Amino acid sequence: MKIIALEEAFSVPGMATAGAALHQPTKFRPGVLADLERRLPEFSELRLKDMDEHGVDMQVLSLTTPGVQMQPDAAIAVSDAQLANDVLAGVVEEHPDRFAGLAAMPLQDPAAAVRELDRALNDLGLSGVLVNGHTLGHYLDEPQFQVFWEALAGHDVPLYLHPNSAPLGWPVFEGRPELIGPTYAWTAETDAHALRLICSGLFDRFPTAKVILGHMGEMLPFHLSRIDTRLPYVDTEVKLAKKPSEYFIDNFHITTSGVTATSALLGAVLTVGVDNICFAIDYPYESSTQATEFLRNLPLSDADLNKIAHSNAERLLRLG
């Protein structure tokens, strides 16, 4: 079975923007941190060896969180995004059968982000974009980002909405640092970000826009029915043309990154449909062994299994 993993992280030494993914209030154990710091910037040996050992044919690479999203200087964010995208394009060019890439976007300057989007897709041959959550506290439904959505819809490529590793500052997490980051806080913020996009009417304005959510859709598939029933009771400023769940099915894809529960996968299939689900590992943060064994043991037909393993990603990102 061919396997494409759709949310696989890398870092770029030499960026002016210091990454925060490995240095949060919840500390990685020293041995884990050392292994991540060794694997993130590496492509040709450790990464390919891991892929070969687990039967992963292709990784779709993206700049690890927070990417350029927390850089306060817009000009530096632009230059760092260009550097990261140049490095990524070089890796894809060197191993076109093993890697594809999602471009980093310097949304501190939306007009510059549009120019970098055009360059990344037209000149560098990348397959879409990944944005690490909010950009300096600004979310993608805000008016200044409409020009970016227009350009993205024009290119007909997806935006992968990944969590931002910058601390949230929510009082509910005070004194409980183990809940910060991927344990829970990232999911809470990222699914709220996705709901902001839906509730803003973004997909009425851009009906062909496509968003990817990792981590089994940040668990939103399991909350959609309640959102559908409760939203009509609210006197909302924006009147939506469809139910929130309908936008989710029409405009979102989800990946399995970091979630290897068969019950969750089957629930997602029932909620959003097998055509909207793609496989991902979240290398090097998650176990390739656990992720690929989970995939191969799913109680699905061969046709549905192949959709999740590779063909949905090929269609969505126009791979191959």
Q: Where are the beta strands (DSSP E) in the chain?
A: 4-10, 58-63, 99-104, 128-132, 159-162, 211-213, 252-255, 277-278
Report the 10 Å Cβ neighbour count for 23: 11
Q: Where are the beta strands (DSSP E) in 141-189?
A: 159-162
At 248-304, the pLDDT tens digits run 999 999 999 999 999 999 999 999 999 999 999 999 999 999 999 999 999 999 999
Q: Is the pLDDT of residue 174 over 70?
A: yes
26, pLDDT greater than 70: no
Q: What angle do CA 99, 20, 189 make, to 5 degrees?
A: 85
> Any bridge partners for residue 159, and if so which?
129, 211
Q: Could you check whether the bond before residue 143 is cis, i.e. omega within 30 degrees of 0?
A: no
Is the pLDDT confidence value at 100 over 70? yes
The length of the chain in residues reads 320
Residues 242-246 have a mean pLDDT of: 97
Strand partners, 5: 59
The domain ranges of the chain are 4-317
Rounded Cα distance between 320 and 305, Å, is 19
Average the pLDDT over 209-225 and give the result: 97
Amino acid 31: pLDDT: 74
Looking at domain 4-317, its CATH class is: alpha beta
Q: Which residues are catalytic?
A: 282
316-319 long-range Cβ contacts below 8 angstroms, 24+ apart: 316/158, 316/210, 316/212, 316/253, 316/278, 317/6, 317/60, 317/100, 317/127, 317/128, 317/157, 317/158, 318/127, 319/4, 319/58, 319/100, 319/127
Kindly list the strands in the beta sheet with 211-213, ordered across the sheet, starting from the edge strand earlier in the chain: 4-10, 58-63, 99-104, 128-132, 159-162, 211-213, 252-255, 277-278
* pLDDT band at 48; cut points 50, 70, 90: very high
Q: Both tokens of residue 22? A: 């490995």
The count of other CB atoms within 10 Å of the CB of residue 144 is 13
How far CA 135 is from CA of 69, 84, 212, in Å, comes to: 5, 17, 17
Instruction: Give how far Cα 118 sits from Cα of 111, 227, 278, Å.
Output: 11, 36, 25
